[in-house]
Amino acid sequence: MQTNLTIAEFLLTDMRAGRIIAAEPFTKARKPAYKLLIDFGPHIGIKKSSAQITHHYTPESLIGKMVVAVVNFPPRQIADFMSEVLVLGLPDAEGHIVLLQPDADVPPGGRVH
């Protein structure tokens, strides 16, 4: 069921562009995942995230990749790791996550409008 939001409610969600600077397998996660370090620029800084994106990406292929993430959700404990931002993606036809990314280079920390 679809819920309608006002533009004011939508703008409460702070979605920003960030550049992945480190990625490694998250062996303690229940489902296959990576631990990511993402640079959101000087105002937000470097944040950690756990992302279930192992089907389409290797840790090496993620380094330098721009992603979109929600940066104002509360941190979430996943096993022994504190995930600080929610990286956004969409499921492919088989349900494997494909990252949302800008199609041109943008500065880290740029806000989705």
What does the H/E/C string look like for the chain?
A: CCCCCCHHHHCCCCEEEEEEEEEEECCCCCCCCEEEEEECCCCCCEEEEEECCCCCCCHHHHCCCEEEEECCCCCEEECCEEECCEECEEECCCCCEEECCCCCCCCCCCECC
Of 9-13, 69-73, 83-87, the one with minimum mean pLDDT is 9-13
Domain ranges of the chain: 14-99
pLDDT digits (tens, 9 = 90+) for 3-62: 899 999 988 999 999 999 999 999 999 999 999 999 999 999 999 999 999 999 999 999
Whether the model clears a pTM of 0.95, i.e. scores above it, the answer is no
Q: Which CATH architecture has domain 14-99?
A: Beta Barrel (2.40)
* pLDDT at residue 1, as a whole number: 76
